Amino acid sequence: MSLQPRIIPPGATLGVLGGGQLGRMFAIAARRLGYRIHVFCPETDAPAAPVADRVFVAPFKDLGAVREFARSVDVVTFEFENVPSATSDACAEVVPVRPAGRVLHITQQRLREKGFLQDHGFPVTPFRAIRSLADLESATRDLGLPGVLKTASFGYDGKGQRTLRSANEIQEAFAGLEGTEGIYEAFVDFTQEVSVVGARTMDGRFEAFPVFENVHANHILDVTVCPARIAPSLEAAARDLSRGILEALDVVGLLTVELFVARDSRLIVNELAPRTHNSGHLTLDACVTCQFEQQVRAVCGLPLGSTELTAPAAAMANLLGDVWKAGEPRWERALANPRVKLHLYGKANPRPGRKMGHLTATAANPEDAIAAVREARSSL
């Protein structure tokens, strides 16, 4: 028996697990459509708090508080995947959770994620589970060096991962896991990193945004450009791959597929994120429907919006706390270009490496869009 009507109309209350910048931008999009927003997060000063109607501040493991939160909303979604499965299960006792807790369970742990993809025939780099030093020694022999050792859980923006280039590094790298389970992945010789943000409804309707091309610095996304500078056949293949993964997982909501474009033009799935994504921020200013509104539409059973670009090209540059190292940035310099848009997340402490906001720009081609956001950021 369904807990809720198929369509959750404007005027209803949407619940978000997590109060970071993705939750903030989701809340802004939802309020624009006429929804109320309740946020559950452990922090009192979360970026989403100022734009929410109600904030439940408690640890994710406080299931009594979680159930109280769930009783106050009509549907629950999440803005990051490091939420305990028990938390989403407690919400699901009361209201629909979209994407479902099963999707969260698979995607929040790299071994489960890679195993699911491999078992369903999606392309992944060879990998091994690492639970002992002997496991890592065996994995490096079988899969070769260089390779990448990652913690199996709770990793993002390069945290909990290390590239191994020689056998001399094995012991130190294993010690770095600090007793947690790991995964060793064969090295991928790639030319580009791309991502696809796809949305799917309860009745199987699917839409994907144009493929985003991503450039990282120190393992953190630095610049995204769209359309990706890849062959049209690869663009189509990446979107088809995304659709297949959302269907295999039975996603209702959004899911982002991060991909490597190998030197031989193969697509290899790197990671999945069951939510909106940093690379999709340019959709706020460059697409008919932004990724956050699309998430609202998908989890509420509304028709999906158009994902078309409104300009030939667009780019996004992250603003990390490092930008504040010389004091408050000169925002007027970045905004001197009338095609540049500024988005700040309301975070009080600009620590190095912390995502504080982003800049977007539209242009006639990808190169000009990249140049615009880089120049605007450097002018700060």
CATH code: domain of residue 19: 3.40.50.20
Q: Which of 170, 186, 202 finishes a domain?
A: 186
Q: Write out pLDDT tens, residues 177-200.
A: 999 999 999 999 999 999 999 999
For residue 323, give the DSSP letter: G
Q: Examine residue 282 and state whether it is found in any structural domain, yes or no.
A: yes
Give the list of residues 6+ apart from residue 91 with CB closer than 8 angstroms, or none: 15, 17, 66, 67, 69, 70, 76, 97
Annotate 22-83 with DSSP letters as a single string.
HHHHHHHHHHHTT-EEEEEES-TT-TTGGG-SEEEES-TT-HHHHHHHHHT-SEEEES-S-S
Residues 172-178: contacts with CB under 8 Å, at least 24 apart: 173/136, 173/149, 174/130, 174/133, 174/136, 174/149, 176/149, 177/130, 177/149, 177/151
Six token digits for residue 88 = 């989403």
Same domain, 286 and 180: no
Cα–Cα distance, 170 to 181 (Å, whole number):
15
Same domain, 175 and 253: no
Q: Write out pLDDT tens, residues 14-55.
A: 999 999 999 999 999 999 999 999 999 999 999 999 999 999
Q: Examine residue 317 and state whether it is found in any structural domain, yes or no.
A: yes
Q: What's the confidence (pLDDT) of residue 156?
A: 65
Same domain, 71 and 140: no
- CA neighbor of 103 nearest in space, from 271, 238, 273, 242: 273
Question: Do 130 and 147 meet the contact criterion of CB atoms below 8 Å apart?
Answer: no
The pTM (predicted TM-score) of the whole model is 0.96
Q: Examine residue 4 and state whether it is found in any structural domain, yes or no.
A: no
Same domain, 245 and 266: yes
Same domain, 178 and 232: no
Same domain, 282 and 323: yes
Six token digits for residue 292 = 């956050």
Q: Which of 141, 167, 186 finishes a domain?
A: 186
Same domain, 19 and 159: no
Alpha carbon distances (Å) from 152 to 40, 156, 161, 324, 331:
25, 11, 9, 33, 39
Q: Examine residue 232 and state whether it is found in any structural domain, yes or no.
A: yes
pLDDT at 2 over 50: no
Cα–Cα distance, 123 to 108 (Å, whole number):
19
The two beta strands, 36-41 and 54-57, are parallel
Q: Write out pLDDT tens, residues 341-362.
A: 999 999 989 999 999 999 999 9
Q: Examine residue 121 and state whether it is found in any structural domain, yes or no.
A: no
- CA neighbor of 226 nearest in space, from 266, 286, 269, 305: 286
Count: domains in the chain:
3
Same domain, 282 and 347: yes
Same domain, 244 and 352: yes
What is the span of the domain harbouring residue 302?
Answer: 190-378
Q: Which of 151, 168, 186 finishes a domain?
A: 186
Same domain, 26 and 63: yes
Same domain, 258 and 339: yes
Q: Write out pLDDT tens, residues 231-288.
A: 999 999 999 999 999 999 999 999 999 999 999 999 999 999 999 999 999 999 999 9
Cα–Cα distance, 182 to 347 (Å, whole number):
32
Q: Examine residue 104 and state whether it is found in any structural domain, yes or no.
A: no
Cα–Cα distance, 310 to 308 (Å, whole number):
6
Same domain, 145 and 214: no
Displacement of CA 169 from its chain's centroid (Å): 30
**How many CA atoms are closer than 13 Å to the CA of 82, on its beta-carbon side?**
10
